[in-house]
Homo-oligomer: A and B are copies of this chain.
Amino acid sequence: MKEKYAGSPLPPARPRLGSMPAAGPCAACAVRMLSVCGVIQENDLHRLAAIAKAQEAEAHHTFVTAGDPAAFLFNITEGVVKVYRLLSDGRQQITGFLFGGDFLGLGADDTYAFSAEAVTRVRYCRFERGALMRLLVEFPRMEQRLLGIASSELAAAQEQMVLLGRKTAREKLATFLTMLSRRMPSLGNPRDRLDLPMSRADIADYLGLTTETVSRTFTQLRGEGLIELPKGGGVRLRRESALAEIGEGG
């Protein structure tokens, strides 16, 4: 097995920058300001903490299964998650990779229509669905924020449809790398170094390709000097703007 991440314990969550320590786990959350929780005032945080339960999942653990009652919503605090759907014969489509700060659970009604699996070891907050919904009534700003999140997820989903329906393998991979690159700053990493904790098979299932095509396309991009593929895994982007342009069909 690959298990690049499973073995090593996660470092402790970073304390929130530039603020006094406050009571409760939410106040210490490293990604609070990135997430839904950022709109709750300090003195109301205990209300949020009351319905939140911090949890961890090992790499490859499936913590949401399509078809199960949608009892919980989640906020990823650390690590990488893949969200996917399956066809009856096992074909898989990954609908998104989630990182620290990302919200999980919109788009579910009574039962989950998707599954979610930890790609690396993952930390997340689990909210009881009904309790969170009741809280929204009291904190309208949180509901507004959730609507904003849903809205941007929708925009991202439409973007992904363009990718899946109309882009070539080369454009798909270039877009994928560019999108990951853009997320790096908020995760505190340099934009040109990507860890790629997900397997080639996962990348393929996200881009609507096969592992072989993903692999060949990586090789092709390396051959053109656009990326490097260092020994230990990951990618280094050598010409981000060129990649971005390829991704746009340029």
Chain B positions within 8 Å of A109 at CB level: 151-152, 155
> In the complex, A249 Cα to B151 Cα: how many Å?
30
Check if A122 is an interface residue, CB within 8 A of chain B.
no
> In the complex, A198 Cα to B158 Cα: how many Å?
20
Check if A147 is an interface residue, CB within 8 A of chain B.
yes
> Are A114 and B158 touching (Cβ within 8 A)?
yes
Max count, chain B CB within 10 A of own CB: residue among A107, A150, A159, A161: A161
Q: Pick the interface stretch among A28-36, A56-64, A81-89, A212-220.
A: A81-89
Nearest-neighbor residue (CB-CB) of A245 within chain B: B88
> Are B158 and A85 touching (Cβ within 8 A)?
yes
Chain B positions within 8 Å of A114 at CB level: 158
Nearest-neighbor residue (CB-CB) of A147 within chain B: B147
Number of A positions contacting B (CB below 8 A): 43
Residues from 165 to 204 in A contacting B, C-beta threshold 8 Å: 165-167
> Are B87 and A248 touching (Cβ within 8 A)?
yes
> Are B208 and A165 touching (Cβ within 8 A)?
yes
> In the complex, A87 Cα to B162 Cα: how many Å?
8
Nearest-neighbor residue (CB-CB) of A149 within chain B: B150
Check if A51 is an interface residue, CB within 8 A of chain B.
no
Max count, chain B CB within 10 A of own CB: residue among A91, A157, A207: A157
Check if A160 is an interface residue, CB within 8 A of chain B.
yes
Nearest-neighbor residue (CB-CB) of A112 within chain B: B155
> In the complex, A157 Cα to B163 Cα: how many Å?
13
Chain B positions within 8 Å of A155 at CB level: 107-109, 113
Chain B positions within 8 Å of A153 at CB level: 154
10 contacts between A and B (CB under 8 A): A87-B166, A88-B249, A107-B152, A109-B151, A140-B143, A147-B147, A164-B164, A164-B165, A165-B205, A165-B208
Residue-wise, chain A 233-250 has the 8 Å CB interface mask toward B (1 for contact) of 000000000000000111
Chain B positions within 8 Å of A135 at CB level: none
> Are B249 and A162 touching (Cβ within 8 A)?
no
Residues from 103 to 158 in A contacting B, C-beta threshold 8 Å: 106-109, 113-114, 136-137, 140, 143-144, 146-147, 150-155, 157-158
> In the complex, A159 Cα to B146 Cα: how many Å?
21
Check if A77 is an interface residue, CB within 8 A of chain B.
no
> In the complex, A188 Cα to B157 Cα: how many Å?
30
